[in-house]
């Protein structure tokens, strides 16, 4: 009898503090979907080459993989064993590490496949915001093994900058306000460039928090998942499973879905005015308009 295969891989991406954990938790509450803590498999172990933006493996992800398995209460599946044996020797030869770029990426995806199948799920969600820039690479290495889809979570810039700046104060390297603004501008520009990609879907935080059921129904339809009203009750428990003890800034994800306005509490009037001048508000509006046109043209979600 043929071994079961994964049906769908879903990557939730976007600027941190845009609502990516909320979207991940909602999807993870679906009966056929499972999810995990942030893996950071690609953003921490692959480097995007400046000239081409093509990823190259630069670090052995084996230690992070074991930490990830521990975070999720999982024993190593068969695909993970390679990192403890052959992979440890192969990736120990530093000059040859880049040669393993695509084989290691495919093996990491297979680890997630095997974990999902072990849990009885036909689809999985991986949410690491910085994997946004790895979409073309992940699309390519996934091949035809499974449907691989990307959900971009978009939120207005001022609130993202305020929340990201505040949350980063407890990180290893805090972000300055200008760095937060630049990241939002750059990454919205990248998402806008993906608007016509058939495997990419777009969720707007403001719409999701104002009309959760309508926005979620559209997203699920676009991903090919049936609507389950229980999701809106189960997602809080899913959020608890997806958050580690070190991620205090995610503590409010499981609360009732509502729009969070943090800029007024975390920024003074002068800071808000300065940030508004730096932000590329046009990128957000162009994304909204393009997503609406795409929805109208296809009869489905953006």
Domain boundaries, the chain: 8-298
Q: What's the topology of domain 8-298? A: Rossmann fold (3.40.50)
Distance CA 299, CA 155 (A): 23
Greater confidence (275 vs 3) lies with 275
Average pLDDT, the chain: 89
pLDDT tens digits along 226-268: 999 999 999 888 888 888 766 554 556 655 666 666 665 778 8
Does residue 129 have a pLDDT over 50? yes
Nearest to 9 by CA among 175, 122, 99: 122
Distance CA 212, CA 209 (A): 5
Give the pLDDT of residue 167.
87
pLDDT tens digits along 183-201: 999 999 999 999 999 999 9
Question: 151-165, 177-191, 261-275, 276-290 — which is least confidently predicted?
Answer: 261-275
Strand, helix or coil at 186?
A: helix
Give the pLDDT of residue 245.
67
Distance CA 184, CA 257 (A): 23
Give the pLDDT of residue 204.
97
Q: Tokens 């043209």 identify what position?
A: 297
Nearest to 72 by CA among 255, 249, 238: 238
- Is 0.75 surpassed by the pTM of this model? yes
Strands (E), the chain: 8-13, 33-35, 46-48, 55-57, 123-127, 147-154, 200-204
- What does the block give as tokens for 247? 């991620």
Nearest to 36 by CA among 241, 247, 255, 254: 241
Give the pLDDT of residue 1.
41
8 Å CB contact between 254 and 25 = yes
* Burial label, 41 (beta-carbon count in 10 A; 0-12, 13-18, 19+): buried
HSE-CB at 79 with a 13 A cutoff on CA atoms is: 18
pLDDT tens digits along 203-224: 999 999 999 999 999 999 999 9
């Amino acid at each position: 009898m043929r071994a079961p295969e994964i049906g769908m891989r879903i990557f939730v991406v976007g600027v941190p503090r845009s609502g990516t954990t909320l979207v991940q938790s909602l999807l993870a509450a679906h009966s056929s979907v499972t999810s995990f803590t942030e893996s950071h498999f690609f953003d921490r172990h692959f480097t995007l080459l400046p000239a081409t933006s093509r990823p190259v493996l630069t670090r052995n992800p084996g230690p992070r993989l074991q930490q990830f398995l521990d975070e999720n209460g999982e024993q190593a599946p068969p695909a993970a064993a390679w990192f403890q044996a052959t992979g440890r020797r192969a990736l120990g030869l530093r000059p040859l590490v880049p040669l393993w770029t695509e084989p290691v990426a495919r093996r990491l995806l297979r680890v997630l496949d095997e974990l999902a199948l072990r849990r009885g799920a036909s689809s999985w969600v991986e949410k690491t915001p910085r994997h946004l820039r790895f979409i073309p690479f992940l699309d390519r290495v996934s091949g035809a093994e499974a449907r691989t889809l990307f959900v971009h979570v978009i939120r207005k810039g001022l609130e993202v900058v305020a929340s990201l700046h505040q949350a980063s104060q407890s990180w290893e390297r805090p972000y300055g306000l200008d760095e937060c603004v630049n990241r939002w501008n750059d990454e919205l520009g990248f998402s806008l460039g993906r608007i016509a990609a058939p495997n990419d879907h777009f969720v707007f935080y403001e719409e999701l928090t104002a009309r959760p059921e309508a926005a979620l129904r559209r997203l699920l339809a676009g991903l090919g998942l049936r609507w389950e009203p229980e999701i809106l009750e189960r997602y809080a428990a899913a959020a608890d499973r997806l958050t580690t003890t070190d991620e205090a800034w995610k503590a409010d994800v499981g609360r009732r879905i509502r729009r969070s306005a943090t800029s007024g509490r975390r920024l003074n009037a002068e800071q808000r005015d300065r940030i508004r001048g730096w932000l590329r508000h046009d990128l957000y509006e162009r994304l909204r308009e393009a997503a609406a046109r795409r929805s109208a043209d296809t009869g489905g979600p953006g």
